[in-house]
């Protein structure tokens, strides 16, 4: 009788282990499916709607316009900088020429 009881207890333990293993697999599958469903919901919630797409397009258009203006201003500044350098060179040359005439006038008062 004790042998029979021992066999029954071992069978019960094996069945409990098998049931626990199946439950673990089911729980893992359930959690996996729940995670996938949650991820799909998150993806759908984060998917752009027509309204947000319109806002994104408007923002991108505004950024493009601002970059175009920035490029235009940089080109203007570059050209103005070149013109400014030319004007400074011209001013410097005219000042040298004026100093030359003043020195001639200083040393030759008859020319004035």
Q: What is the pLDDT of residues 76-110, one digit of tens each?
A: 888 888 888 888 888 888 988 888 887 877 777 66
pLDDT score recorded for residue 85: 83
Lowest mean pLDDT among 57-61, 63-67, 87-91: 87-91
Percent of the chain past pLDDT 90, that is, above it, reads: 13
Alpha-carbon distance 81 to 73, whole Å? 12
What element of type H or E holds 49?
none
* Residue 98 to residue 70: CA distance in whole angstroms: 41
């Amino acid at each position: 009788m004790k042998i029979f009881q021992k066999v029954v207890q071992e069978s019960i333990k094996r069945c409990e282990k098998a049931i626990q293993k199946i439950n673990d697999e089911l729980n893992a599958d359930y959690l996996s499916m729940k995670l996938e469903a949650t991820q799909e919901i998150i993806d759908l919630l984060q998917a752009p709607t027509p309204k947000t797409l319109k806002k994104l397009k408007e923002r991108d258009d505004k950024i493009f316009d601002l970059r175009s203006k920035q490029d235009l201003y940089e080109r203007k500044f570059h050209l103005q900088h070149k013109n400014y350098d030319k004007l400074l060179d011209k001013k410097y040359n005219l000042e040298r020429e004026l100093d030359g005439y003043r020195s001639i006038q200083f040393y030759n008062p008859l020319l004035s």
